[in-house]
Amino acid sequence: MADSSPHGRSLRSVCVYCGSSESTLPAYLDLATRFGEALARRGLRLVYGGGAVGLMGRCAKAAHAAGGEVLGVMPRFLERREIVFTAVPHRMVDTMHERKMIMFEESDAFVVLPGGIGTLEEAVETLSWRRLDLHAKPVAFLSEDGFWAPFFHLMQHTIDAKLTPANFNDAVIDARSIEECLDALEGAAAGNP
Q: What pLDDT, in 10s, does the model give residues 89-123?
A: 999 999 999 999 999 999 999 999 999 999 999 99
Looking at the predicted structure, is the pLDDT value of residue 174 above 90? yes
Looking at the predicted structure, is the pLDDT value of residue 192 above 70? no
CATH value of 13-187 in 3.40.50.720, 3.40.50.450, 2.120.10.30, 3.30.230.10: 3.40.50.450
Amino acid identity at 35: F
Q: What DSSP line would sit under 156-189, residue for residue? A: HHHHHTTSS-GGGGGGEEEESSHHHHHHHHHHHH
Is the entire prediction scored with pTM above 0.75? yes
Looking at the predicted structure, is the pLDDT value of residue 7 above 90? no
CA-wise closest residue to 71 among 97, 36, 41: 36
Cα angle 184, 190, 191 (rounded to 5 degrees) comes to 90
Q: What pLDDT, in 10s, does the model give residues 28-69?
A: 999 999 999 999 999 999 999 999 999 999 999 999 999 999
